[in-house]
Amino acid sequence: MEVTFKILRYNPEKDKEPHYEQYRFEAHENMTVLDCLHKIKWEHDGSLAFRRSCAHGVCGSDGMRINGKNHLACSTLLKDLNTKDTITIEPLPSMPIVKDLILDMTDFYEKYYAVKPYLINKSPVPPDSERLQSNEDAEKLFESAKCILCACCTTSCPSTWSNDNYIGPAALLKAYRFVFDTRDDAADERLDIIDTPDGIWRCHTIFNCIESCPKEINITWHISQLKKELSNREL
C-alpha cells in the first residue's frame, strides 16, 4: 500500500521556521512508524534527523507526536493508524527543537535529577547479603520502574504546556519509585521537593500522561499515591 507522511522539518542552519514536508512511499501495514522514517531517511532524504536505538520500545529514544498523539515511533504500527489519510509526524511538544524530530531534552532531564533519582539509605547494609524486601513491596515499584524516560507523558500534559516550571509526570513517577521503596530513607526529602506549587500540586488529574505512556504505566495513580502520602504527612 502507498502511505503519505507529513513530517515537521527544521534545520537551524537553513530554516527560519519549522515547516512540513510530505513523503509518499510504498509500505506494509506491519511496518512501524520508525521503519517508515528509516525508509524516508535511507531511500529519499538522508538529512531527516530523529533519535532511535533499540527499535522495540525499551530505550525510550523515539518519542514523537504521531497524528497528534505522543507515542514511540518504534511501537506504533501502520496497521494501528488510518493509513488512508496522511500520517502527521511532529516532535514532542513543549521542548525546543534542535533539528527535525530531535529536541533539546535538557529541561526534562533536569527535572528528573531534581527528585534525587537514586536510593538514599542511611542505615548500614548487611555485609554479605541482600536487604530483605517482600515480593509484594518489590512489585509496588515495578510499574514505576518500567519508565523509559521517553518524555511522552510530560509533554502530553496541559499543565506542562501552560507552565514551563511544572516538574511533570515523569519526574513525579520517579519520585514515587523511591518514596515507596522500603529500602529508601529519604522519602521526606523527596516529598519536600515535590510539595511546591510547580511540583505535584500542578497535576490536575487530567490523565493525558496515562494515555500517552508507551509502557502503559498508570502514572496518575502513582502521583495520587504521592499526594496521599503528602496529605498524611500534614495531618
Partner 1 sequence: MIHKFDVVIVGAGGAGLRAAVEIPKGYSCAVISKVFPTRSHTGTAQGGVCAALSNEEDDSWLNHAFDTVKGSDYLGDQDAIEIMCQDAPRAIIELEHMGMPFSRTKEGKIAQRKFGGHTKPEDPNDPNSRRLPVQRACYSADRTGHVMLQTLYENCIKNNVNFFSEYYLTDLIIEDGTCKGLIALDMATSEIHTFHAKAVMFATGGYGRVYRITSNAHVGTGDGCALVYQAGLPLEDMEFYQFHPTGLWRLGILVSEAARGEGGILRNSANEPFMEVYAPTVKDLAPRDMVSRAIISEIRAGRGILGSDGTYYINLDLTHLGKKVIDEKIPEITGFARTYLGVEPTKESVPIQPTAHYAMGGIPTNYDTEVLYDNKGKTVTGFYAAGECACVSVHGGNRLGTNSLLDIVVFGRRGGKKIAEFLETAKQIDFNSDPSEKTKEKLTNLLSQSGNEKTAVIRRELQQNMMDKCGIFRNETDLTEMKQLIMQYKERYNNITVQDKSSVFNTDLVETIELANMLDIAESINDGALNRKESRGAHMREDFPKREDEKWMKHTFIWKDGSGGNPRIDYKPVIKTRFEPMERKY
Minimum CB distance to partner 1 smaller for 61 or for 159 = 61
Interface with partner 1, residue 43, by CB under 8 A? yes
Q: Is 131 in the site for partner 1 (CB under 8 A)?
A: yes
From 37, 92, 141, 186, residue interacting with partner 1 (rule: CB under 8 A): 141
The reply on whether position 51 binds partner 1 by CB under 8 A is yes
Q: Least separation, in Å, of the C-beta of 56 and partner 1?
A: 5
Is 46 one of the binding residues for partner 1 (CB under 8 A)? yes
Residue 149 engages partner 1 in binding (rule: CB under 8 A): yes
Q: Is 183 in the site for partner 1 (CB under 8 A)?
A: yes
Asked if residue 12 binds partner 1 (CB under 8 A), the reply is yes
Binding footprint of partner 1, residue count (CB under 8 A): 60
Rounded to the nearest whole angstrom, what is the least distance from the CB of residue 154 to partner 1 in the complex? 15
Residue 135 touches partner 1, criterion: CB under 8 A: yes
Using CA atoms, how far apart are residues 211 and 48, in angstroms rounded to an integer?
28
Query: Which residues form the interface with partner 1 (CB under 8 A)?
Result: 11-14, 30, 32, 41-43, 45-47, 49-61, 75, 77, 98-100, 102, 105, 109, 113, 117-119, 121, 125, 128-135, 137-139, 141-142, 145-146, 148-149, 178, 181, 183-184
